[in-house]
Structure 1
Amino acid sequence: MGASLPHQAPGPESARAGVRAAFGAPDDDLSDAQALDHAVAELVRRTRFPVAFGGLVLDGAIHVTSIHGARTHSLDGLVVEAARGLGGRALIEQRPRLAIDYRSARSITHDYDRAVLGEGIATLFAVPIMVTGRARGVIYCGSWAEAPVGDVVARPAFAVADELSSELRIRDEVQRRLTRNRGAAAPATLPAATREGLRETYAELRSISAIVADPAVRARLDRLEHRLAALSQDPAEQSVELDVRLSPRELDVLACAALGSTNAEIATALDLKEGTVKSYLQSAMAKLDASTRHAAVVMARRAGILP
C-alpha cells in the first residue's frame, strides 16, 4: 500500500505519563489524559461503535493514550501527525471527518493503515476537540464493518466532544490562574483583584456543574472547585470550624451572591425561579446563623466553604 509506519511509543501507560508531564499534571492528580479517557469510554457507551480511541495534541501531533473496545494492540502508542490520516485532517480542518470504507478512502493519506487496519477497522469517524478556537485533540469511533454515520451516531459523539471541550477549557483556566499565582501564593494575602478573579471562576464552575448530569464529570468539577477554594483562602481572616453542610444548590446560590449578583441575576445564571433563589439563600443563611446574605458569605469563607 506504500503506507509509512505509524510512530510508536513504548505503550499506552508511558504515553499517558508523557501527556501528564507535558501538561504539568502530577501522576496522582486528575489529568487532562484522564478526562480524555473518560470521554473515549463514553463514546463506546453512547454510540453504536464498538471501538473508540483518542489523544491530545502534543508538539503538533495527536498522541493516542486512550483506547476502549479494541481487540488487538495495533493502536497502542499511535502518534498521528497533523494533516496525515483521518485524524490529522480533522485536526487541521477543525471539523469531523468520516471514512465509511477506510481501506479505500482517497481523501486521506494512509500513513496509519497498519494501526487502523491491523485493528480491523472498516469505518472510522474522527471528531476534533475544540477549545477556545484551537484543536486540543481528536477522538475516534470505529467499527469492524462498514457502517453509515447518521444523526443517531453523530449526535452522541458530538455531545461527548463538547463535554470534553468544556472540561479542558475549565481546566486550562484553572491551571492558568494557578500558574500565574504560584509564585505569589507565599505572601500573607493575594492581591484583591486576583482573589476576586478566583472567586468569579469558582462561581462559574458552580453554575456549570449545576447543569452537568454526568456524575463523573460533576466529581471532576467538584475537585477543581476545592482547589480554587483552597488557593483563594485569605490567611489574614480568622478561620472558624462549623458543622454545617450546605446543599449543592445552596452553595451555587451563595457563590453567585458572593459576587454581588441580585436574586434575579442568580436565577438567570442557574436557570431557577427568583423565588427559589430566595428560598435557597434563606436556608443557607439559617444554617450559617447569618442575618444577611453578606454575613452568610463572610461566614462561609471563614469556614472554608466558599473561596
Structure 2
Amino acid sequence: MAVGVLSSDQDLLAHAVGDLAGRTGLPVAFGGFERTGALEVTSVVGSRTPYLSGLVVQASRGLGGRALVERRPRLALDYRSSRNITHDYDRAVLGEGIATLFAVPVLVSGRTRGVLHCGSWAQSSFGEQIARSAMQVASDLATELRVRDEVIRRMSLLPHVEPAPSLDVAAREELREAYAELRRIGADVTDPALRERLGEIERRLAALSRDGAAPAEQLDVRLSPRETDVLACAALGQTNAEVAVTLGLREGTVKSYLQSAMGKLDAGTRHAAVTKARRAGLLP
C-alpha cells in the first residue's frame, strides 16, 4: 500500500471546514494547521472577501491564537467589542463582516495541530448544539489525522519491496499490529464517511499481507466488526484478558465474540480461526 492512497492533511482540512459550515449552519467557516508556532489559514468556506485566506495568526493573538495555545474552544459573541482577545486581525475578521466567532482547536495526542473557526455576519446567540457540532467536527478531524499519522509511521517501517514478493516475518507482524491498532481506533469513530475511509485502509492492509501466489480462499463468512476486532488482537497473541483491556470490553464478552467467530469459521481453536480468517482475506 502506498502512502499516496491516503488523503493529504490539506484535503482532510478542506473536508472538515466544509463539514463545519454544514453542521453548524453558520455562513462562514475557515481553518488551518499550526506551522512553527503560528496558525496559517488555508481553507475557507462561505467568505465574501479575500481577507481570511492566507491569514497567519500568531500564538496567543486573536481568538484563534488563544485557542491554539490554550487547547480549548474560544468564543467571541461580539468580536468587535471583545476585551478577552487582542485585535491584531480585525482587518480580516471585521473586514469579512464577522460579528460572532467560535474557534475550536484540533488536538492530536495532546498537541494542537490546527484550529477551526465558524462565524456569523450578525451578532447572534450561540447555542450549545452549535458548539457541540463544531467540537465534533474538530474531533473527527483529529481522529483522521491520528489515523493517517499512524498509517504513515507503520508503513515507513516496512521495507521497500518490488511488486508481489512476500513480506518477511517482521514486516508482516508490524503490518498486523498496524491493522489491529486501526481497528481499535475505528471502534470509537461514529462518522460514517470516516468509518468507510478507515475500512478501505484496513482492507488494503489485509490485501498487502497476502502473497501474490496465494489468493484468498472463497469462504462465505461475514464477521461482525467486534468479532474482527477480537480476532485481530488474538492474531497478535493476546490472551482474552489482554484483548479485553485493549478493546475496553469485559473478558466474558471477548470470549463470546471469539467463540462466535470460531463457529462462523468452523474452527476448533482461536489459532485455527485466525489462520482461516487470514486465508479468507479477513485479516492480514
TM range (shorter): 0.7 to 0.9
Q: Which whole-Å deviations, capped at 9, do the CAs of 1:130-176 have from their partners, x for residues lacking one?
A: 21232211101212222354644433333332232222122111111
Structure 2 alignment gaps of length 5 or more: none
Residue in 1 that maps onto 2:193: 216
Residues 65 and 77 in structure 1, CA contact (< 8 A), matched pair in contact too: yes
Which of 258, 265, 278 is the aligned partner of 1:301?
A: 278
TM-score of the aligned structures, taking structure 2 as reference length: 0.80
Which of 12, 33, 37 is the aligned partner of 1:35?
A: 12
How far 1:238 moved relative to its partner?
4.3
- Higher mean Cα deviation, 249-258 or 28-37? 28-37
Quick one: structure 1 residues 304 and 185, their matched pair in 2 at CA, closer, same or farther if it must change by over 3 Å?
Answer: farther
Establish whether residue 204 from structure 1 lines up as the match of residue 181 from structure 2: yes
- Secondary structure of the residue aligned to 2:68 is helix
Quick one: structure 1 residues 304 and 155, their matched pair in 2 at CA, closer, same or farther if it must change by over 3 Å?
Answer: same
The whole-number CA distance in structure 2 between the counterparts of 1:90 and 1:276 is: 41
Establish whether residue 254 from structure 1 lines up as the match of residue 231 from structure 2: yes
One-letter code aligned to 2:48:
T
Establish whether residue 160 from structure 1 lines up as the match of residue 128 from structure 2: no
Summarize the alignment of residues 133-144 of structure 1 with structure 2, pairs less than 5 Å apart.
133-144=110-121
Establish whether residue 87 from structure 1 lines up as the match of residue 64 from structure 2: yes
Which of 180, 192, 217 is the aligned partner of 1:241?
A: 217
- Secondary structure of the residue aligned to 1:55 is strand
- Secondary structure of the residue aligned to 1:117 is helix
Residue in 1 that maps onto 2:151: 174
Aligned residues: 279
- Higher mean Cα deviation, 172-181 or 195-204? 195-204
Residues 237 and 302 in structure 1, CA contact (< 8 A), matched pair in contact too: no
Establish whether residue 119 from structure 1 lines up as the match of residue 107 from structure 2: no
The whole-number CA distance in structure 2 between the counterparts of 1:161 and 1:124 is: 15
Q: Which whole-Å deviations, capped at 9, do the CAs of 1:176-200 have from their partners, x for residues lacking one?
A: 122232x4445743352x5334323
Residue in 1 that maps onto 2:108: 131
The whole-number CA distance in structure 1 between the counterparts of 2:240 and 2:51 is: 52
Quick one: structure 1 residues 155 and 273, their matched pair in 2 at CA, closer, same or farther if it must change by over 3 Å?
Answer: same
Q: Which whole-Å deviations, capped at 9, do the CAs of 1:265-289 have from their partners, x for residues lacking one?
A: 4445445565554443334334434
Residue in 2 that maps onto 1:9: none
Quick one: structure 1 residues 217 and 240, their matched pair in 2 at CA, closer, same or farther if it must change by over 3 Å?
Answer: closer
The whole-number CA distance in structure 2 between the counterparts of 1:52 and 1:236 is: 47
Quick one: structure 1 residues 95 and 274, their matched pair in 2 at CA, closer, same or farther if it must change by over 3 Å?
Answer: closer
- Secondary structure of the residue aligned to 2:176 is helix
Which of 164, 176, 189 is the aligned partner of 2:167?
A: 189
How far 1:122 moved relative to its partner?
0.4
Quick one: structure 1 residues 258 and 141, their matched pair in 2 at CA, closer, same or farther if it must change by over 3 Å?
Answer: same
Residues 82 and 89 in structure 1, CA contact (< 8 A), matched pair in contact too: no
Residue in 2 that maps onto 1:78: 54
Quick one: structure 1 residues 65 and 219, their matched pair in 2 at CA, closer, same or farther if it must change by over 3 Å?
Answer: farther
| Matched-pair identity in % | 60
- Higher mean Cα deviation, 257-266 or 233-242? 233-242
Quick one: structure 1 residues 235 and 111, their matched pair in 2 at CA, closer, same or farther if it must change by over 3 Å?
Answer: same
Residues 127 and 161 in structure 1, CA contact (< 8 A), matched pair in contact too: yes
One-letter code aligned to 1:176:
R
One-letter code aligned to 1:147:
S
- Higher mean Cα deviation, 201-210 or 34-43? 34-43
Quick one: structure 1 residues 274 and 95, their matched pair in 2 at CA, closer, same or farther if it must change by over 3 Å?
Answer: closer
Residues 74 and 114 in structure 1, CA contact (< 8 A), matched pair in contact too: no
The whole-number CA distance in structure 2 between the counterparts of 1:75 and 1:206 is: 41
